[in-house]
Amino acid sequence: MDERNVVVTWVLRELYNNNLKEASKATGFTIQQLTGWKDGIWTPQKSNVSRLMHHAFEPAFTVIAEFKPIKYEGTVKGVRSQLSTILKGFHKASGVYAFYDSSGNLLYLGKAAGRLLEETYIQIKAAVTKTAFPRGAPQPKTRLAMVRYVSAYRVNKSEFEDYAKHVEALILRIRKPPLNTNGGKLEKAEPDIDEV
């Protein structure tokens, strides 16, 4: 078996748990191609191995839902089921989510490491703290009282990097949502060795 076949076999086993359907969907290769390479029937071209590796390790950022309305009727009752519908198929995804007011202004941004539904639900019903409202204006008790739209984005997990954390930190630094107390901590880049 060629070394390229060995690499393909390792990627399929270790990163896709030999789920060829999932690997096919993620990479664009057909199940027949992946099976042929894995079983050593064909030798993949170098460019195909590179493409497979790229898709396996890239920090993919994909839209789950954008500006989906959420109804608030004075209680948290029914909110979890609304979020469940919005995040259908991605309840355990890793990613970032955003809450918006009725004008589409970003109110809050958070990240989830594999529990998107649970994290979104916990944060939407959290108490509003450290937010200055105009004198005489009603003070909402929870974020839910202010939120009218929800967006969510899947950010692939990595064993070595928390890509969702990086995306969240960058957006927090740029937008400064009023309900976030965390300003987003960015990691400083290290120079390339050959440029030092």
Secondary element (H or E) of residue 31: helix 31-38
Under DSSP, the state recorded for 127 is B
Half-sphere exposure of 184 (CA within 13 A, CB side): 22
What torsion, rounded to 10 degrees, do the Cα atoms 62, 68, 70, 76 define? -10
Averaged in consecutive runs of 10 residues, what is the pLDDT profile of the chain (196 residues)?
92 91 90 96 95 81 94 88 95 94 95 94 91 80 94 83 84 90 76 66
Domain residues of the chain, as ranges? 3-57, 61-175
- 78 near 71, Cβ under 8 Å? yes
Of the chain, the percentage scoring pLDDT greater than 90 comes to 55
pTM: 0.72
What's phi and psi for 112, nearest 5 deg? -130, 135
Secondary element (H or E) of residue 34: helix 31-38
What's phi and psi for 187, nearest 5 deg? -90, 140
